[in-house]
């Protein structure tokens, strides 16, 4: 079913891309757009993780450079039945995270240094488990391709503004078509992004909470991340808004209500769903992460999580 949805999304985005090409250059423009879309899809399939990680200046870490984080990811990945993903840090004050990669065998989890500083170990576990759920659900490829093609559609529409249409062009729709393209193409791409992200965030919340074993860890983390998103700008995300839906919380504005143009569901609604799941799990909840391993149930950088977050080794 995931592959069918991916194919349907690619077909829809490609059709939209071809429509923009038609408005710019008629039938020949549509064919050129089809070739570009096919090349973009192939390139994105093989390079999606590197593209997004490079965009945000993420650097890979291991057990020697970030033992607590990598150990936590390893334990949760094992609990989820996933191969160990690569782990990356982004030098970004805003707390946030995303996962990327074309499949579970080639996946990566990236978190910001702000997330490491502001969350307790339990909250961090909830966030990492959410991202692992995206990997297990094969969402990462879909979300990255959506971001890439949506960005390409917006750029093509901007190109059309300069290329322009003319009344004598029998292949396209002329000036009226150009105006419609500039307005409707980015909106269409954005609506596809929003629909994909909103439905999959609820699913990742549910599965991630089950992986971590404590739904309220994620709920607590969502509150902190959304609050920071209102106050701390993510400038790289502002420059690349087509990637906003990949993050656990919208890095652009942290919308608090469900509406047509929100990249994520309402955080309040997500928390309510997690509270309901917590009630359903009850005593069946899994033990704390690290309870029987080398990682005691403490805050991520050695301070008890009950005393609040501590600052990590990155500042």
Q: Which of 92, 131, 201, 226 is catalytic?
A: 131
107-112 and 86-90 strand pairing: parallel
Phi-psi region of 81 (alpha: psi -120 to 50; beta: other; left: phi over 0): left
Q: Is 131 a catalytic residue?
A: yes
Residue with tokens 């805003």: 94
Lookup: tokens for 169:
């062009």
C-beta neighbour count of 284 within 10 angstroms? 8
Considering Cα of 87, then 304, then 208, then 78, what sign does the dihedral take? positive
| Rounded Cα–Cα distance for residues 312 and 72 (Å) | 15
Residue 104 contacts residue 136 (beta carbons within 8 Å)? yes
| Rounded Cα–Cα distance for residues 19 and 228 (Å) | 39
| Rounded Cα–Cα distance for residues 228 and 234 (Å) | 10
- Candidates 8, 109, 6; CA nearest to 66 is 109
Catalytic positions: 131
């Amino acid at each position: 079913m995931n592959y069918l949805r991916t194919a349907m999304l690619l077909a829809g985005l490609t059709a939209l891309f071809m429509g923009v090409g038609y408005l710019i250059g008629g039938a020949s423009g549509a064919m050129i757009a089809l070739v570009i879309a096919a090349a973009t899809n192939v390139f994105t399939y093989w390079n999606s993780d590197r593209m997004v990680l490079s965009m945000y200046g993420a650097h890979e870490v291991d057990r020697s450079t970030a033992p607590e984080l990598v150990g936590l990811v390893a334990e949760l990945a094992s609990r989820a039945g996933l191969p160990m993903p690569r782990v990356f840090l982004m030098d970004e004050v805003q707390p946030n995270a995303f996962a990327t990669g074309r499949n579970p065998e080639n996946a990566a989890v990236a978190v910001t240094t702000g997330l490491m500083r502001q969350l307790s170990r339990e909250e961090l576990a909830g966030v990492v488990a959410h991202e692992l759920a995206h990997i297990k659900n094969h969402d990462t490829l879909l979300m990255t391709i959506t971001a890439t093609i949506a960005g390409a559609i917006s750029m093509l529409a901007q190109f059309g503004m300069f290329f322009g249409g003319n009344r004598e062009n029998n292949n396209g729709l002329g000036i009226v078509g150009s105006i419609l393209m500039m307005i409707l193409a980015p909106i269409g791409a954005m609506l596809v992004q929003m629909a994909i992200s909103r439905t999959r965030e609820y699913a990742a919340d549910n599965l991630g909470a089950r992986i971590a074993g404590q739904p309220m860890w994620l709920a607590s983390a969502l509150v902190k991340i959304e609050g920071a998103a209102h106050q701390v700008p993510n400038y790289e995300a502002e420059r690349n808004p087509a990637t906003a839906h990949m993050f656990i919380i919208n890095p652009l504005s942290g919308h608090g209500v469900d509406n047509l143009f929100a990249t994520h569901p309402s955080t309040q609604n997500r928390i309510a769903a997690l509270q309901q799941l917590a009630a359903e799990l009850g005593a069946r909840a899994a033990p704390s992460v690290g309870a029987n391993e080398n990682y005691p149930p403490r805050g991520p950088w050695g301070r008890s999580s009950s005393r609040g977050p501590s600052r990590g080794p990155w500042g």
